[in-house]
A and B are shown apart, each in its own frame.
Chain A
Amino acid sequence: MKLQQYEEVIQVINSKPAGNIVATLVNKFEGIERTTLNSIWAQEMQKKVKKNFHRIHAQDKASEIYSNYLSCVESRDPPGILVKMALAMDYSPAMLAKLILEQYLIANCPHIIVSKSQVNRLLRDTTMIEDRDLSIEVYLCLLEDEVYGPFADSIKHSIGYEYEFFLRRELEKLNISYQNEDDLRLRGYDKTPDIKLDIPIAVDGKVVNWIESKASFGDEESHRTYLKDQFWSYWNRFGPGLVIYWFGFIEELDEYRDKGIMLRDSFPSNIVFMDPLSIA
């Protein structure tokens, strides 16, 4: 995807159209896959949450939100209070639920230090939340949220794994021998790409020693982070490699192709295999 088009998509997302944003996007940008648009949208949501997190989770603000919530419960509002609040705040319902849950625990269990894992455990199993109102509220938030929360996490995690699995299968189909992350970790590698090829291949005339599968859209922010934390590290250790952003990427970001970090949005079709005999 060209940067320009990406920016158009972002514009539409920021204009906050009524209804399901992804559906709107799908209608508007016909040539673009739904998964891509969904991924871009999710990334935007994440950015929004990141931007507002500190503001909203500041102690004052948090307790204010919590008391708002309590008063709603007091007044016997129908379930879905938190979901509505999140909508009004333009914030992630799951994150809001987490915040409320934390506040609830602080308020109700003063003698216990509220740990992150405790909160997470309750989020994972909302039935364990003592307060029945909160229990259903949090539960509804988790169901509502497509980016945060244990359900969304499971789905994201699964998507990542599915594509990695797909990649492995494709490699196996082509009889390409590789080491996966776990193999490498076992052998004491300090940085482990998803796939490290035992015998390098060539894609588009570029050597590929490793493949990283990313089940997300490659936007600038995430790509920079990945480059710094992962891709360059792989490159340092294993030489040039391939990154597959299964949901596409901003084409302009593919600037290190010559240097040895190639971006693709699908499994390469034109693979050249190493064959020492072909030279002779």
Chain B
Amino acid sequence: MAAVLEVLLQGHVSPHHLLLWLHGTPVGGVLEDLSHLRVEFVPVFLNFLRDQSSIVLQAGIHSGTTPTKAPSSVRATKYVSPGKDHSLRTRSRKHPLVFKGKTLQFSDTDIKGTPSNAQQEVQSTNVDQLLEANSAFNSTVDTSPPAMVPSGCASNSSSPVSRTNSKQGRYNTSTPRRNGYGITPKFDSLRLSPHERHHRGKRQNLEGSDHEGKWDHSFEVKHSEQRLSLGDFITTDIKLADKRKSPLPRDKNRSPVGRASVGWSLRHQEMPKILDIGDEEAFPMVGSTPVQDKQQKRRINPTRIVAASSSQQSKTSLFSQNPKTVFGVPLSKSPSSSFLASEEGSSKSMEKERELLRQERLRRIETGEDVSGSVKNDKRKQSPTSQIQQKLPDKTTNYIQASPDLVSNRSCLDILSEVYAELILYNMAPSVMVELYYLIQLLTVRVILGSEVERGEQCDKFFLDTPHNCVYFATKVLLLITELVKLLDKGTIKLLSENPCILQFSSELQKNLLLFLQSPSRAPMLHLAAKSPIGGVSFQTDTDNRNNFPSDQAFHIFRKQRDLFYEMLRIWEENHLTPGWLYAQGLGSRIRQLLSLRPNSANFTHFARLFQSQLLNMCRGDDDESHLQQDSEGFGFLTLLKKQHPEKYKRLYERLVTPSKLGGPCPPPSFPGSQEFFRDFILTASNFIFNQHLKDVLISHILILSEREFIILEPEDGDCAEARSVVLNLRILAKFLGFLEFLPYQTSEHIPESVMATHISLRSKVCPPLKICEALRQCAISGQLVVAVTWVVEFLSMVDPVALHSRHYLTVVMTLIAIFKLLYIMRPEESAGCPACGASSPARSFSPLNSLLLKLLLGWLFDLPNFPDGLFFVDVAEADIDHWEYSQTLQVLNVNYKCLCVACLRLMLVPSSNRMDKSATLVDGTSSQRTVSPVRDFTATKDPAQTLIKTPSKQKLQGSLMSPTKTPSKFLLVSMLESPQTTPLKASDTQIVAQHMHHLDELDFVDHQMITLCCPFISELKNLLSDYWCGVGSNNVNSYRKITPLSASDRTSSSQSQMQLQLQLEDNFFHNHHSSVRKTTDFVIERLSSNVIKNIRTKIIPELRISAIEKLKEFIDDRIQSTPPSVEWTRDGVQKRIVELSQEMTLQMKTKCFELARQECSDQILPALSLLLPGDVTPQGVEVCKKLVTRCSKDKVLAWIQSHLTPTLFSKDLTADSERLLRQAQKAADLQITTLEASYSDMSLSNLELSEVSGASGTENSSVANQSGPSLLDCHLNSPTNQPSQMKIIPKNGSGEIGCVPTAATEHDHLVPSPSQVLTSLKEMVRVLTVTHTGKLLNTVSEQQIQLVLEDIRSTLTKRQDVTLAVFRALEILTTDFAVAIAACVPNLMNSDTQKIFVSLWKPRKDEGVIPMPGCLNSLLCPRTIMLVAQNPLASHQKLAWRRLGEFISLLISCELLTPASVLDQCVALLRHTWPQEILSGISSCIEGISQTALKERAFQDDPTLLQMLDWVGWVCDQMDDFSDTI
């Protein structure tokens, strides 16, 4: 490989040719012989650059001036899967969390990742020590990994003294160890034998990091021991490389993935060494003692308030669990001053705060260095806040100023930069972000003055060993990739353009950038939507109501589950910020309770859907919340909190801060914000059934969303908003699906080779839950790959270590790589490109920003820990994938998307190169044929597969033919192309359409906000630049990006009426009309039928139901009346009756419904249609539409009726009601029997002679019932009230009837005393009358008062509408009681006027009564009344009371409010008690009075029996005392 670089650098091969060669074009010349190295070139080249610059970047770290960059620059020294390095790095920050014992596997891997991180950070270890300590390392690491971790962290900043020493040593004597591979002979000793490395790999395994395990796996399983060293690419005279290649051939066939492993090995081969070196315990710093290390195991993490983006939040959530280490010493020293030093502006204070930490670190280093430390005065050290104001202008003087004049090796740098730029531009480097990040690192590199001098002796094979060269190289590349840079957000571009190095080195670049900045920016397309105030998922009657559950029980249990779920959410929201609060502890029992409430699939389905909806609801809201936190208001609150609860505030602060970096250019996937709740729910529940249901729900939702087609007709109208929202929703759904799907396979343990192979073969048999390739194809066809790729990336980001090695997923990954290579950062013009490309190019290509998003996302995926290393570079033909599936997908891609050859790309992307190689372009043009495909080898051989693929236009056409009515959008699509002359069925037409339609991929669908939302790590670039600024510049550039939220709109329910019964004619009719005609018609049909059905449900059904119940009631009453004692007996009859009734009802219902439907149709369709249809539709056309609507809506209604309104439905309903009615009837019957029996037994007890009378009274009872309207049964049923409304069966629908009263007022007068007031005063009056001592009564109660109360009752009942039945009943009782109380306690007030008022209240309604015939009048003469009378011992009083009572009862009888029979009953009942003589005589006088009055009444005279009986009772009463005496 070195040969390639050599010829390149020597100028034998132009970069241009090299790129062609890389692309597979036969170029001839030197490169021809080297073609076997082609696959390996790119990764090796990328690593080569890292190696080149490692010295400078490391110097940057150890100089201590830009400490925050340290880890990244370390990483940058090698192209070893940055994602992994990164993940390690970030993990180190949160390792304490890990030790807290979080149960997540992800966290577990974090633990394990730490050691290697530590190792990576320690760059300064002396090479010799490395080897010496190797064995020691092995022994220490395994036994005490936790102890090792902090030391690793501390290495960066904690022991400045030792650091200085080690630095000295390093810079003087050695190049960094990791460059050692074959670069200089003296590093050869560094290379470990394969055995050694293997051994180390094992050690790593013991530590158990999953990804270490993985690379180890690839190291072993794939046998990728072909140790390509960088040196190979540089000089041919280092032969050692050849030795190391030897193992490769031997191992080739052992691996299941065989030859594909070549590329994978490239990034692994150096790692064992890296991992070994880092441990400081094993390799102590020169001059540092272990004790010191222990003391200073603290590292300052620059922190920042989490506010800017969701991913920052993600950090928070991860971070939150280890608050203790979030801050290093500075905060604990002066927690308040450091954070709230300045709160004027949020971002400002954040910046300052970060600056503070930076300075704190500086200070510490300075004190250690003792170089410039003496300059500082003590005061500064002690008050970090004061340092903020001083921007340390003196600091900058310590750095080497990069200068164009000092650049060496320009020509080589030019070549390298050109190659590098083109690799980036032509999608040959896996991650754009990583490369950009590296470039910015180079650009912002800073080396302290002193350190640089010593490197003068460096080998001149280093091209990037000085800051000058680095900056030169970076600016050069940036210039070449300006088009890519321009896609970044303007904040970043601005920072870049303001970078002094850019100005110095490349004014052209700066000019370009400034020019671009001045150009008007696109208006933001995302809508600024305030967060929806709805916190929950709204209750939808069509999915959530009782009808959607198998049983009442299930329904009510789901209600509980729903409430329980939200309760948990609230608990979580309140507590998850509190340190020490554990999810499983706080919610575990609730979760289990919820899921075990009803282990029924219906409930699980509902709950899974609720869970999913809530997930979308909340996680989409998170975008807003982070945004809100930046409000000054929020900060005001913080200030307040800080003052009031410093402790609480501190905890909150610890939650909110995040490492100043998001975690480098490639952070591991996380569950930011609310997602944490849902993830932990799943983990804590660990309920298989729930997981399965949730998966089902997610899959179905994902597919529904993904299959939605967005065809934007007018790109300007911002129609993309919905599509964006869909994309963002899909990402969340896919992420959780991925999480669930791969959850069972996650492991923190290393999987050994053999086991891995088994796993792979096992897993290869299992189908993934989703046909991802198919989804990708579908989206490719519909031109919205941007939708599919975003969610597929999210799905795969959750992958376990094995999955991506398995066939299905490997195929997906290869497909993604193929898509990746189609992403160009510029839109190819129609005419652009060579003839070969132009000829084969179909219409579509990604818009630049769409490309950028996908590039970023895919790059991120390719660098994730569980992504197989090097897979990106693997030749597809060698991969073990489903070739059929792959080729099919690829064909679809090729047919639908523009695929450009290198020459075209160059023309398009590198304008400056236009003139460079015109001849080459020509060569390309002729030679490239179809080789433009990113996987040319493969497609070239599998051309037959092409026949399987349909052209997109055909597909589209067929789709529209097959189901022209399926979706409005499709219909739209077809009708678009219509012109009167042509039929819509020709392929040529569809192509015309295709040109007018805009697919998401082509539109500027993605904007910067979307990129920031989906790829929050992009802000890392800005961080790098602004960090540089803070160190150098004077102005405080603060560009925290505001994230504009997208509100989740749920419009998926839009009704799409299915008109499968449509005839072909109709289709044609619609084809020939404007699309809106069909839309309108569909709309009207849908609305109309739904209205009719709604009417049926709310009007017709309840009406019929009530009448049926009435009938049933009648039937039951009948039965019971006729055969009182046997309710059981009637049950069968009732059942029969129910069946009859429900059949009857169904029939009625149907006729009524048809009638309704017919009427609605004839009445409503025409006006609606003529209003909605376009004006150019002819009257006949409208008529056709009308008929169509009539038919379809009738069909719909009919179908609904048929399926819903069945006799069984009603009979079920009625059965339930009949139970209730029967129970009521039974009670009533029982009561009747008991009263009968009671009276019978009384009679027989008291007077055996008159037994025949009891029989008479029995019959009288029923006559009473008939007279008073309601039967006696009802009278006894619930209360003695006896008014009509009680009779009415209260229908289930109840609609307010319960509260209404027979005397409903027509108007409401709120000035009239309210029912409760009247009731209260009435009750009070009665109380006063009955309780107060009689002597005082006359003074407290007056006639006027009584009359006033009674008047109030009347007016309330007639003028208020809010009288409830309960009030009404209470009034019945209390007015009766009132009358009795007056008569008994203040008899002289019970004059005829008062009596008349009472009677007027109780009269039938037709006589203007308001409480018609209260039932309780039937218990007027009860023992209680007697007791009331007897309360007053005065004989005169009692006498008067009896007279008044007699008068009153007589009046009631004459007004027909009371029947003599009832009076008789009451009297008889009274006789069951023994009474003192005076009472008995009182009673008898009363009864006598009644009978005498009655004699005068004519009606009474017809009933001599009654009369006699009354006489008799009166007499009995008189004699009673004697009787009892004699007995």
Q: Do A and B bind each other?
A: yes
Contacts of A4 in B (CB 8 A): none
B1326 A135 Cβ-Cβ under 8 A: no
In the assembled complex, A132 has its CB within 8 A of some CB on chain B: yes
Given the contacts A135-B1427, A154-B1366, A260-B533, A190 and B1323 also touching, CB distance less than 8 Å: no
The A-contacting residues of B in range 1412-1435, CB under 8 angstroms, are 1416, 1419, 1422-1428, 1431
Cβ of A69 to closest chain B Cβ, rounded Å: 15
Inter-chain CA distance A99–B1423, complex, in Å, is: 21
Contact B1362 A190 (CB under 8 A): no
Q: Which chain A residues lie closer than 8 Å to B547 at the CB level?
A: 188
In the complex, the chain A residue whose C-beta lies closest to that of B533 is: A207
Complex CA–CA separation, A58 to B1102 (angstroms): 47
**A residues 152-198 in Cβ contact with B at 8 Å:** 153-159, 161-162, 164-166, 169, 180, 182-183, 185-191
Please state if A162 and B1423 are interface contacts (CB–CB under 8 Å): no
Please, which residues of chain B bring their CB within 8 A of the CB of A183? 1295
Within 8 A of B (CB), among A108-166: 121, 124-133, 135-136, 139-140, 143-144, 150-151, 153-159, 161-162, 164-166
- A135 CA to B1421 CA, complexed, in Å: 13
Q: Which residues of B contact A139 (CB under 8 A)?
A: 1330, 1377, 1424
Q: Which listed residue (A79, A83, A121, A166) contacts B1427, Cβ 8 A?
A: A79
Nearest CB on B from A87, distance (A): 12
Bound complex: CA A57 to CA B1370 (Å): 27
Query: Per a CB cutoff under 8 Å, which of A130, A180, A190, A240 touches B534?
Result: A240
Interface string of B1253-1271 (1 = CB under 8 A from A): 0000000000000000000
Q: Compute how far the CA of A155 lies from the CA of B1293 in the bound complex, rounded to whole angstroms.
A: 25
**Contact A161–B1419 (Cβ < 8 Å):** no
A132 touches B539 (CB 8 A): no
A135 B544 Cβ-Cβ under 8 A? no
A240 to chain B: which residues have CB within 8 Å?
A: 533-535
Given contacts A143-B1331, A239-B538, contact A135 B1362 (CB under 8 A): no
Tell me if B545 and A187 are in contact (CB < 8 A). yes
Please name all residues of chain B whose beta carbon is closer than 8 Å to the beta carbon of A104 when the two chains form the complex.
Answer: none
| A126 pairs with B1424, CB closer than 8 A | yes
In angstroms, how far is the closest chain A Cβ from the Cβ of B1048?
14
**In whole angstroms, how far apart are the Cα atoms of A135 and B1428 in the complex?**
11
Among candidates A158, A187, A228, A259, residue contacting B1319 with C-beta atoms closer than 8 Å: A158
Prevailing SS type, chain A contact patch:
helix
The interface residues of chain B lying within 8 Å CB-to-CB of A209 are: 534
Q: Are A238 and B1331 in contact (CB under 8 A)?
A: no
Please tell me if B1191 contacts chain A, counting CB pairs below 8 Å. Answer: no
Q: Which residues in A have their C-beta under 8 angstroms from that of B1473?
A: 132
**Which among A158, A187, A232, A239 is the interface contact of B570 at CB below 8 angstroms?**
A232
Q: When the two chains form their complex, are residues B1327 and A185 in contact, meaning their CB atoms are under 8 A apart?
A: no
Residues of chain A contacted by B1323 (CB below 8 angstroms): 143, 151, 155
B1315 at the interface (CB under 8 A from A): yes
A151 touches B1319 (CB 8 A): yes
Asked if A154 and B1370 sit within 8 Å, CB to CB, the answer is: yes
B541 contacts A by Cβ under 8 Å: yes
Contact B536 A158 (CB under 8 A): no
In the complex formed, the residue of B with least CB distance to A215 is B1316
Query: What distance in Å separates the Cβ of B347 from its nearest Cβ neighbour in chain A?
Result: 24
**Cβ–Cβ < 8 Å partners of A237 in chain B:** 536-539, 562
B1299 adjacent to A161 (CB under 8 Å): yes
- A-B CB pair tally, cutoff 8 Å: 181
Name the residue among B1280, B1316, B1326, B1472 with the largest chain A CB count within 10 angstroms. Answer: B1316
A157 vs B1319: C-alpha distance when bound (angstroms): 11
Q: Given A143-B1323, A158-B1364, A189–B1331 Cβ distance below 8 Å?
A: no
Q: How far is the CB of B1275 from chain A (nearest CB, A)?
A: 10
Which residue of A150, A162, A186 is within 8 Å of B1314 (Cβ)?
Answer: A162
Nearest CB in chain B to that of A229: its residue: B563
Minimal Cβ-Cβ distance residue in B for A202: B533
Question: Which residues of A lie under 8 Å from residue B1363 when comparing CB positions?
Answer: 158
Do A191 and B559 have beta carbons less than 8 Å apart?
Answer: yes
**A207-240 interface code vs B (CB 8 A; 1 in, 0 out):** 1010000000000000000001000110111111
Nearest residue, chain B, Cβ from A239: B534
Shortest beta-carbon distance from A77 to chain B in Å: 12
Is B189 on the interface with A (CB-CB < 8 A)? Answer: no
Given A140-B1331, A155-B1323, A191-B559: A235 and B535 within 8 A (CB)? yes
- Kindly report which residue of chain A lies nearest to residue B1422, judged by CB atoms: A127
Measured CB to CB, the nearest residue on chain A to B569 is: A236
Given known contacts A135-B1427, A236-B562, A259-B535, A140 and B1364 CB-to-CB distance under 8 angstroms: no
Give the distance to chain B from A149, nearest Cβ to Cβ, in Å.
10
* Contact status A127-B1416, CB under 8 Å: yes
B1419 touches A128 (CB 8 A): yes
Residues in chain B near residue A164, CB distance under 8 A: 1362
Q: Are the CB atoms of B1319 and A127 closer together than 8 Å?
A: no
Complex CA gap A17/B1508 in Å reads 58
Given contacts A127-B1424, A232-B570, contact A162 B1315 (CB under 8 A): yes
Q: Which residue of A lies closest to B1235 (CB)?
A: A128
Contact of B1279 with A239 in the complex, beta carbons under 8 Å: no
Asked whether B566 lies within 8 Å of A236 as measured between CB atoms, the reply is: yes
B1294 at the interface (CB under 8 A from A): yes
Contact between chains at B1098 and A232 (CB < 8 Å): no
Selected contact of A125 from candidates B1320, B1326, B1416, CB within 8 Å:
B1416
User: A157 with B541: in contact, given A125-B1373, A240-B533 (CB under 8 Å)?
Assistant: no
Across the interface, which residues of B come within 8 angstroms of A190, CB to CB?
539, 544-546, 555-556, 558-559, 562
- A140 near B566: Cβ-Cβ < 8 Å: no
Answer yes or no: B942 CB below 8 A from chain A CBs.
Answer: no
A143 engages B1294 (CB within 8 Å): no
Q: Which residues of A from 232 to 280 have beta carbons under 8 Å from B?
A: 232-233, 235-240, 259-260
Give the CA-CA distance A164 to B558 in the complex, in Å.
28
Chain A contacts with B in 63-106, Cβ cutoff 8 A: 78-80, 83
Q: Are A154 and B1367 in contact (CB under 8 A)?
A: yes
Given contacts A186-B1098, A191-B559, A236-B536, is CB(A166)–CB(B1310) below 8 Å? Answer: yes
- Residues of B whose CB lies within 8 Å of any CB of A are 533-539, 541, 544-547, 555-556, 558-559, 562-563, 566-567, 570, 1098, 1102, 1278-1280, 1293-1296, 1299, 1308, 1310, 1314-1316, 1319-1320, 1323, 1326-1327, 1330-1331, 1361-1364, 1366-1367, 1369-1370, 1373-1374, 1377, 1416, 1419, 1422-1428, 1431, 1472-1473
Query: Can you list 7 A-B contacts (CB < 8 A)?
Result: A150-B1370, A151-B1323, A165-B1361, A182-B1295, A183-B1295, A188-B541, A238-B539
Nearest 3 CB-CB pairs, A to B?
A: A188-B545, A132-B1423, A165-B1362
4 more CB-based (< 8 A) A-B contacts, given A121-B1278, A154-B1366, A189-B545: A124-B1373, A136-B1427, A154-B1369, A190-B559
